[in-house]
Structure 1
Amino acid sequence: MNNTSTLADYGSQTSFSSAGSGAAATLGLTTAMSVAGGVLFLLVMGAVWLARRRNRPGHVWWIWAGGVVLPVLALAALVAASTFTLAAIGRTGDTAPVIEVTGHHYWWDVVHDPQGRALRDANEIVLPADTKVTLRLRSGDVIHSFWVPSIAGKLDMIPGRVNEMTVTATRPGRYRGQCAEFCGLSHPLMAFEVLVLPPAEYAAYLAGLQDEARDADTAQLEQGREVFLREGCPACHVIRGIAEGGRIGPDLSRVGARGSLGAGMWRMNVGNLAGWIADVQDMKPVAEMPSFNHLSGPDLRAVAHYLASLK
């Protein structure tokens, strides 16, 4: 099952197609710096060509102008432009909705906190379009780094600290993010998705986060629920209305609705869910979940179908 054809390919991960105000400002600054650098390069090469053509050293004022004044002015302009841009995109909003994101080995715990109500999800961040949102970033173990190139710049997540950034997503769609700081052997497999929704759909999403998991309405789904409970999965995972209290692993209350499995790495479907449960170490080495390869075929299929039904 571990082959490239099953890898998740949802969402854009590029800095050249902005879908957020922070990414747009960063792209503008990068473009301006690149153009300015090109102009300065041409000026310097022109001065070198002129000096070689005259076949004699330039006047002293040429040395001061080209070797001291021009670099100082260029660097001062770049520092000022980058400082103002960073201040603009890093300014937090006091009234903005808060989403807490905690990086773990090797997944993302996401808590939406509208009006002080903690609504938990995992490996998928949902944002309302054209609305400022404050992201409160933490780490549960080592240094991670939060980066969604199409929406905002990256910010480190430091153990014992809380870093905040305010983002404004400007275009509905699905965008891919990535841990941008080496955090262990499965660091490349620690991605996530950002889903940007119109405000009305975002409100419906938040309402859905408060609902309990759907009932198991077939014999196979009932069998899968019983396998989930019997095998001790609630010690690590929550399914609202079925299993409460587990906080070690991701919340599975709507796992089947996510676009990907394994923190952005695999398409969400029954086959990949079954492969993940049976041999997680093959799909994500050193993940902190045991493999349940002792399950019988019917039990494995039942629990995979049950989890896929949670939406």
Structure 2
Amino acid sequence: MEAVLDIADWPSALDLFGSQSTLDPAGLGAAEVYPLTVWMTWAFGAVFVLVMAFVLLAWLRRHPARPWWIWAGGIVLPLVAIVAVLVFSTAALVATTREDPDALIVDVTGHQFWWDVVYDPEGLALRDANELVLPEGRAVTLRLTTADVIHSFWVPSIAGKMDMIPGRTNVLTVTATETGRFRGQCAEFCGLSHPLMAFEVTVLPAEDFDAWLETTRGEARDAARPSLLDGRETFIREGCPACHEIRGVAEGGRLGPDLTRLGARPSLGAGMWRMNQGNVAGWIADVQDMKPGAQMPSYNHLSGPELRNLSAWLVSLR
């Protein structure tokens, strides 16, 4: 059990670009989209070959224009193709957006340039950031919205993409069918650091997922070494709780990601950097260097000991 739940030791999203593939379905939504992708590729490949053959025939034989060619190739063929794609894609869309009354509800809010995640908002209300943990074989309804501009939620291996639109909540029901770690990405240009707005999805066996929820619902667990206590004091003194929440230490901050279990996450900066003390210290000192456009000021006025203690304390949070 411990080996499964200690997901901080798993590799960062920097190492997982191979897991972001629509050609390797690991969820029911991706399994619905995959045959549609294959069918469209073959069908429109055949259409392309046929059209090129007609072009070559017309070029070589130089026949006068024939009306039936225009009707067949310019009107009938595109109409049939568009209707067929509409029918099959609508069926796939319905299958991936249908709500399950027994599904776990998870709210996901897109920000420039990070992800706010709340599990069971009407009950447990466990808040996390830049990472989504799912149970294998169990339906999860994602309620997707945004706090600023249009974003798009996409985990190619698990489900199709869904836009996140200001003032609107879109619903995407996902069911992961394989355990492991998968990479997601914002699929709608949302600003300077749009390509740096990734996230990670961890799929656990259903019983291990329940245990994970139980072990992460409490207050932050940090070691009580003197240097770490100094780091906690620096966090409070510098006004970080105005933006960041840490359960048991600072409550109510919503402008930035929840940091309660920061050290347990495999990556930093929405999937861009491996989680370790050096990267956390660099992020605090000069965030714009690590992620241009991030909505956070740099704290380069901190002394060396203050920065070391603060970053060590943040990494200790589990």
* Contact 1:216 1:225 (C-alpha < 8 Å) held by counterparts: no
Alignment correspondent of 1:251: 258
User: Aligned pair 1:113/2:139, yes or no?
Assistant: no
Note if contact 1:120-1:209 (Cα within 8 Å) is conserved in structure 2. no
TM-score by length of 2: 0.88
Per-residue CA shift, 1:251-304, capped at 9, x if unaligned? 111000101101111110010011111111211122221211111111111111
Larger displacement relative to structure 2 (76-85 or 43-52): 43-52
* Superposed displacement of residue 114, structure 1: 6.8
Of 9, 25, 50, the residue aligned with 2:15 is 9
Task: Give, in whole Å, the separation in 2 of the partners of 1:220 and 1:274.
Answer: 15
Partner amino acid, structure 2, of 1:297: G
- Structure 1 pair 246–65 and aligned structure 2 pair: CA distance change class (3 A): closer
Give the secondary structure class of the aligned counterpart of 2:280.
helix
Tell me if the contact between 2:14 and 2:271 (Cα under 8 Å) persists in the aligned partners: yes
Task: Report the equivalent of 1:201.
Answer: 208
- Deviation string for 1:94-132 (max 9, x for gaps)? 221111001112111100017622110001011111111
Instruction: Note the C-alpha offset of 1:8.
Output: 3.0
Q: Counterpart of 1:156 in 2: which secondary structure?
A: strand
With over 3 angstroms needed to count, the CA separation of the structure-2 counterparts of 1:91 and 1:296, relative to structure 1, is same
Deviates more, 1:186-195 or 1:48-57: 48-57
Query: Aligned partners of 1:172, 1:70: CA distance in 2, in Å?
Result: 42
Is 2:71 aligned against 1:94? no
Contact 1:22 / 1:89 at 8 angstroms: preserved in 2?
Answer: yes
Aligned equivalent of 1:220: 227
Structure 2: unaligned runs, 5 residues or longer: 1-11
Residues 67, 212 of structure 1: CA spacing in aligned structure 2 closer, same or farther, 3 A cutoff? closer
| Of 227-236 and 267-276, the range deviating more from structure 2 | 227-236
Q: What is the letter of the counterpart of residue 233 of structure 1?
A: C
Identify the residue that residue 277 of structure 1 maps to in structure 2: 284
Distance 1:167 1:52 in 2: 50
Tell me whether 1:29 sits opposite 2:44 in the alignment: no
2-side partners of 1:52 and 1:230: how far apart? Answer: 77
Specify the alignment match of 2:160 in structure 1: 153
Alignment RMSD: 2.3
Deviation by residue 1:40-79 (Cα, 9 ceiling, x = unmatched): 3344455566677877569876665555444433332222
Q: Is residue 267 from structure 1 mapped to residue 274 from structure 2 by the alignment?
A: yes
Does the CA contact (< 8 Å) of 1:97 and 1:114 recur in 2? no
Deviation per residue, 1:193-233 (Å, 9 max, x gap): 11111111111111122111114321221121121122211
Structure 2 residue aligned with 1:3: none
CA–CA distance in structure 1, aligned partners of residues 66 and 299 of structure 2 = 78
Question: Is the contact made by 1:109 and 1:121 (CA closer than 8 Å) also made in structure 2?
Answer: yes
Tell me: CA distance 1:45–1:165, structure 2 relative to 1, closer, same or farther (3 Å): same
Call closer, same or farther: CA 1:232–1:36 in 2, change over 3 Å. Answer: same
Task: Tell me, yes or no, if the aligned pair for 1:261 and 1:273 is still in contact at 8 Å.
Answer: yes
Partner secondary structure for residue 116 of structure 1: coil
Q: Does the alignment pair 1:123 with 2:130? A: yes
Alignment check: 8 A CA contact 1:224 1:302 kept: yes
Q: Percent same amino acid among aligned pairs?
A: 63
Which letter does structure 1 place at the counterpart of 2:40?
M
What does 1:130-169 correspond to in 2, within 5 Å? 130-169=137-176
For residues 296 and 96 of structure 1, do their structure 2 counterparts lie closer, same or farther at Cα, with a shift above 3 Å needed?
same
1:156 partner letter: D
CA displacement at 1:32 relative to structure 2: 0.2
Which of 31, 38, 46 is residue 39 of structure 1 equivalent to? 46
* 282 and 7 in structure 1: CA distance in 2 versus 1, 3 angstrom threshold: farther
1:301 counterpart = 2:301 = no
- Residue 247 of structure 1 deviates from its aligned partner by 1.4
3-state secondary structure, aligned to 1:301: helix
In the superposition, the TM-score normalised over structure 1's length comes to 0.90
AA aligned to 1:171 is E
Consecutive unaligned residues in structure 1, runs of 5 or more: 1-5
Q: Contact 1:133/1:167 (CA < 8 Å) preserved in 2?
A: yes
